[in-house]
Amino acid sequence: MDEIPILPAAPLAYENREFLNSPDGRVLRILSEYSEPLARFRREKIQDTVVFFGSARFASLSDAEGALTLLDKPGSARPANYEEQKKRLGAAIKMARYYEEARELAHKLTEWNMTLPYKKHRFVVTSGGGPGIMEAANRGAREAGGKTIGLNIRLPYEQYPNRYITPELNFEFHYFFMRKYWFAYLAKALVIFPGGFGTLDELFEILTLVQTQKLAKKVLVMIYGGKEYWEKVLNIDALIEFGAVSPEDRDLYRFADSPDEAFNLLREGLTKFHLQQRPATHGGDRREEEGPEIAVTQPQPNDPHHHGPDMHESQIYTAEQLARLQKGKKG
| Res 77: pLDDT | 63
| Res 304: pLDDT | 53
| Res 135: pLDDT | 95
Express each pLDDT in 207-219 by its tens digit: 999 999 888 789 9
| Res 294: pLDDT | 58
Express each pLDDT in 133-152 by its tens digit: 999 999 999 999 999 999 99
Among left, alpha and beta (phi > 0; psi -120 to 50; other), residue 129 is left
CA–CA separation, 107 and 259 (whole Å):
10
Express each pLDDT in 44-69 by its tens digit: 999 999 999 999 888 776 666 566 55
| Res 202: pLDDT | 94
| Res 228: pLDDT | 77
| Res 152: pLDDT | 95
> Which amino acid, residue 290?
E
Whole-number average pLDDT of the chain = 83
| Res 156: pLDDT | 76
Instruction: Measure CA 184 to chain center.
Output: 8
Residue pair 171/164 in contact by the 8 Å Cβ criterion: no
CA–CA separation, 173 and 128 (whole Å):
10
Residue pair 54/192 in contact by the 8 Å Cβ criterion: yes
All residues at 6 or more sequence positions from 162 whose CB lies less than 8 Å from its CB, including other chains = 129, 130, 131, 134, 135, 138, 139, 150
| Res 225: pLDDT | 86
> In which residue ranges of the chain is pLDDT below 70?
1, 61-92, 158-159, 226, 277-291, 293-331
